[in-house]
Amino acid sequence: MQHQEKIQQLHETLLTGNNNIHQLLQQLNIADQARILSELGPAERYLQFQQLERQAEVLVFLPLAMQIQLAYQFPPDQLASLMDAMHSDDFIDLYKQMPYEIQQQLLGKLSTQSLQVLRELHAYPEETAGALMSSDFITLAPELNMRQAIEVLRDIAGNHDTLYLIYIVDAQQHLLGVISLRQIIQAAPDATIAEVMTTDVVYATVDEDQEQVARTLAYYDFIALPVVDAAQKLVGIITYDDAMDIAEAESTEDILKSGAVTPLNELSLKTAPIFSLYQKRVFWLVILVFGSLLSGIGIAHFEEIIASHIVLVFFLPLLVGSGGNAGSQSATLMVRALATGDVQFKDWFSLLGRESLVALCLGGTMAIAVSILGYIRGDWMVAVVLALSMLGIVLMGCLIGMSLPFILNKLKLDPASASAPLVTSICDATGVIIYLFIASKLLF
């Protein structure tokens, strides 16, 4: 039976309410087992999970919120056994999310090796390489020859994150080099590791930001990246799958911030409490309410010109909306470029000129369209006011949208905070003032 057919059959079995699915479940890849389990209710998920053979591996593929939910249902001894079988980075992630009382219960039941990992990795700050790294790596001494190295690998390989890259250290664990499994196999049996290994090792430090680590792994296309402490001692590795998780988490955070929503962290949109969703969204909405008052102040200042040329009101939403849209486009481009490292603060001045030219082209095209509407709705002077206003509003919107992420980045704030709603509110207020100022000068 094809892989997708097995998954479809399991879905159909679930819909019929048949609880006898564990035999089909065992035939699937562990990632697919986790996917099926995630669609079950808590009680049924726990029941089916208990019948799996590779429980620790499946547990890792479940969302962290579900891992915690399952952990509450396990007896302390079983939970400790599961966590002992997990890779160190996954084990630490789960342990950190446990309530204090469960953490204390686990301390008396975890294996000596897990307790050692806990002492080494638990103390590192969140979102650093130290908090992300795994201690499941293999090291060899530089004086071994290839025949000896293969024998050692057979003995110590075990359940490590990766066997493709082996790190070479001295007696004090200082990182000396790296060698791949392929190099070991292809080299002459009597050649020493020191003769074959690569000494120019790319590595991360324990306090390095996790996003930078992900960029490094992606740039060099590495399977894993070694992590060293201040004394250049090898303390862990970060694997490519961890980097993918980081990239996904950072992208999700930036997308949410672009919509003026506080990141949900480990919460799921389907299961998050209503009050939590309210908290994540209310702050920016309240701030933006007061930001929108600036548009009202601008309109109040130009009440006379609006009263004498009521036709101006008809085009007000069109013009300020165009400025907000243009600003949001520019902000989105700059936020993404800053996030990927494509541009830096030093590029701001050169980009300012380029964005101005693009904005003038965009504003000019839109000005022609709106001036035709202005002539039809009013007269040629209204058409001129609309054309000049559209040109100025789009130009200002683009420059605000482009510059705000750079300013936030310079202030050590997240450029993603230059969200579309924030940029739109600023551009709306600016657009109202530009439009009515030009109208007051040309129509009075």
pLDDT at residue number 405? 85
Residue closest to 48 by CA, chosen among 21, 28, 30, 71: 21
Residue 18 pLDDT greater than 70, yes or no:
no
What's the CATH number where 76 sits? 1.25.60.10
pLDDT at residue number 1? 45
Do 366 and 437 belong together in one domain? yes
Do 170 and 93 belong together in one domain? no
User: What would the pLDDT profile of 227-271 be if each residue is shown by its tens digit?
Assistant: 999 889 999 898 888 778 777 777 776 666 665 555 555 556 666
User: What would the pLDDT profile of 126-154 be if each residue is shown by its tens digit?
Assistant: 788 888 888 888 899 999 999 999 988 88
180: which DSSP letter?
Answer: E
User: What would the pLDDT profile of 173-210 be if each residue is shown by its tens digit?
Assistant: 999 999 998 999 999 999 999 999 999 999 999 999 88
Do 119 and 151 belong together in one domain? no
Please state whether beta strands 139-140 and 165-169 pair in parallel, antiparallel, or not at all (unpaired): parallel
Domain total of the chain: 3
Is residue 309 a part of any domain in this protein?
A: yes
Is residue 231 helix, strand or coil? coil
Do 287 and 240 belong together in one domain? no
Is residue 128 a part of any domain in this protein?
A: no
Do 292 and 430 belong together in one domain? yes
For residues 31-48, average pLDDT: 82
Residue 92 pLDDT greater than 90, yes or no:
no
For residues 309-328, average pLDDT: 87
Which structure tokens are listed for 99? 């309530």
User: What would the pLDDT profile of 397-432 be if each residue is shown by its tens digit?
Assistant: 999 988 888 888 888 777 766 566 778 888 888 989
pLDDT at residue number 304? 84
For 103-147, the DSSP string reads HHHHHTTS-HHHHHHHHHHTTSPTTBHHHH-BS---EE-TT-BHH
- Determine the Cα–Cα distance for residues 76 and 337; give it in Å rounded to an integer: 47
For residues 160-168, average pLDDT: 78
Which residue range is the domain that position 423 belongs to? 274-443
pLDDT at residue number 392? 94
pTM: 0.61
For 382-402, the DSSP string reads HHHHHHHHHHHHHHHHHHHHH
- The DSSP element (H or E) to which 184 belongs, if any, is helix 181-186
For the chain, what is the mean pLDDT?
82
- Determine the Cα–Cα distance for residues 411 and 69; give it in Å rounded to an integer: 39
**Cα angle vertex 408, ends 404, 409, to 5°?**
115
